[in-house]
Amino acid sequence: MAQAIKDGGMLRAALTGEPDMLDPAVSTIYTGAQVYEGIFSKLIDFDTAGNFVPDLATSWEQVDAKTWKFNLVTNATFHNGEHFTSADVKYTFDRILDPKTASAYAGLYAQIDSVEAADPAVAVFHLKSSFGPFLNNLALNGEIVNKKAIESGDPARNPVGTGPFKFVEWVQGDHITLEKNPTYFKAGLPHLDGVTFRFLLVDQSRVDALSAG
């Protein structure tokens, strides 16, 4: 019989190395994604069975071969207090596709012709042609960012998303700490108070740290 989930507590997790940065548009190594996945939200995500499930989008539909419409949540805020709208969706993908960003993920979204944000609660993607992997790519690497946070802060070292955890600190060579987002748009989540990621490159060091508590 499954035990009831108890809220609270800090998770201490070991990474196989230190992230390069925590900007999801330009980070290129897996340890970065392991951290920023808890900081940012995407339009859609995968469940444990590999099915697409809502995240910042409540529903979506393919209007025609080259048009996808996403209805968005209206109760999400970024960790800097900015309210999430379709403008953030447009900014996110315009930024990824901008050559100045030099995003490693630009190729995943090269079929996007434009993103329409006429309604704050609706984002419409206009594609250059029909593109089968579109939803899959959104669920894999579609973390939504905020223009103010990107352009007035340090997105590489101080990430701001709408996810279940907020960035607290990055101690170079040692750890990154996240704390529970009290205004997370999904009621009752997260259950943890926070997560500390330690950088332990060697397998034995991770075993020793686990044994030591």
What is the rounded CA–CA span in Å between residue 204 and residue 210? 10
Q: Please report the pLDDT score of residue 5 as a whole number.
A: 85
Q: Please report the pLDDT score of residue 135 as a whole number.
A: 98
Domain boundaries, the chain: 10-211
What is the rounded CA–CA span in Å between residue 81 and residue 180? 15
The tally of CA atoms less than 13 A away on the side-chain side of residue 6 is 4
Q: Please report the pLDDT score of residue 205 as a whole number.
A: 55
Helix/strand/coil for 184: coil
Cβ atoms of residues 27 and 33 within 8 Å? yes
Strand partners, 64: 67
Place of tokens 């969706």: 89
Structure tokens at 23: 């900007």
Q: Note the CATH architecture for domain 10-211.
A: 3-Layer(aba) Sandwich (3.40)
State residue 62 phi and psi, 5-degree precision: -90, 105
- pTM of the model as a whole: 0.92
Kindly list the distances between the CA atom of residue 83 and the CA atoms of 71, 88, 147, 188, in Å, as whole numbers in the listed order. Answer: 16, 9, 11, 20
Q: Please report the pLDDT score of residue 201 as a whole number.
A: 73
| DSSP result, 62-86 | EEETTEEEEEE-SS-B-TTSPBP-H
DSSP-assigned letter for residue 109: G
Q: Which residues of the chain have pLDDT under 70?
A: 1-2, 202-213
